[in-house]
């Protein structure tokens, strides 16, 4: 994944709530992509002990989280390949562990595809109403978090993992910084 593959994020200075939250999600995705981008298999599989986390594992986990959010909270669409239940039955952390067996291109393609599906799903559900509408997820108490909560959770997920990626990437090749360079 090269920097040219990143969508240039244009910040709105006066957007509404949906625009600002979607901007925050896309900015966090761009930060994450920059920290994970352009590496070979050795770079994607490098660990920073004592953690077993890798940038490749983060990419696959982020792809899984995007697709899971679509399936469980937004549209109910079935989970696409490679998210087979039997993989997770054998290893609950399958996406983290199996990333070492994937090529960099497979990992980058998987993540980019999940982001594209997520953007399309968000556009569909938000076209039917705003962030106050309930998600399709039902808690054990029978409640449905609204889409605002789901979107904020998505932003928070990327922010947390962009921090992990920041540390891992610095250990790989010294790359530091908050935002990818803009043209």
The pLDDT of residue 1: 52
Map residue 124 onto helix, strand or coil: helix
Least Cα distance to 131 among 110, 150, 109, 147 occurs for 147
Domains of the chain: residue spans and CATH:
18-173 (1.20.120.450)
| Residues across the chain | 183
pLDDT at position 181 over 60: yes
- Per-residue burial over 58-80, b if 16 or more Cβ lie within 10 Å, else e, is bbbbbbbbbbebbbebbbeeeee
Q: Are 111 and 62 in contact (CB under 8 A)?
A: yes
The pLDDT of residue 182: 77
Q: Are 24 and 155 in contact (CB under 8 A)?
A: yes
pLDDT band at 13 (very low <50, low <70, confident <90, very high): confident
DSSP class per residue in 21-39: HHHHHHHHHHHHHHHHTT-
Residue with tokens 């983060």: 58
Map residue 141 onto helix, strand or coil: coil
Q: How far apart are CA 35 and CA 67, in angstroms?
A: 21
The pLDDT of residue 175: 94
pLDDT band at 15 (very low <50, low <70, confident <90, very high): confident
The pLDDT of residue 85: 94
Residues near 59 by Cβ (< 8 Å), separated by ≥ 6?
Answer: 36, 44, 99, 107, 108, 110, 111
pLDDT tens per residue across span 67-84: 999 999 999 999 999 999
Q: Are 98 and 61 in contact (CB under 8 A)?
A: no
Mean predicted confidence (pLDDT) in 15-33: 94
The pLDDT of residue 2: 47
- Per-chain mean pLDDT for the chain: 93
Residues near 68 by Cβ (< 8 Å), separated by ≥ 6?
Answer: 79, 83
């Amino acid at each position: 994944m090269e920097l040219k593959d990143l969508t240039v994020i244009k910040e709105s200075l006066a957007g509404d709530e949906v625009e600002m939250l979607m901007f925050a999600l896309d900015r966090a995705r761009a930060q994450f992509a920059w920290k994970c981008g352009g590496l070979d298999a050795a770079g994607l599989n490098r660990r920073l002990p004592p953690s077993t986390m890798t940038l490749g594992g983060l990419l696959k986990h982020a792809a899984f989280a995007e697709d899971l959010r679509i399936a469980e909270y937004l549209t109910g669409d079935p989970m696409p390949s490679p998210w087979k239940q039997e993989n997770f039955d054998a290893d609950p952390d399958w996406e983290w562990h199996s990333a070492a067996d994937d090529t960099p291109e497979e990992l980058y393609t998987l993540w980019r595809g999940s982001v594209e599906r997520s953007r399309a799903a968000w556009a569909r559900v938000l076209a039917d109403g705003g962030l106050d509408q309930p998600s399709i997820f039902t808690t054990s108490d029978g409640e449905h978090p609204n889409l605002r909560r789901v979107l904020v959770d998505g932003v928070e997920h990327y922010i947390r993992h962009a921090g992990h990626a920041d540390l891992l990437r610095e250990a790989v090749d010294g790359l530091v910084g908050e935002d990818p360079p803009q043209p």
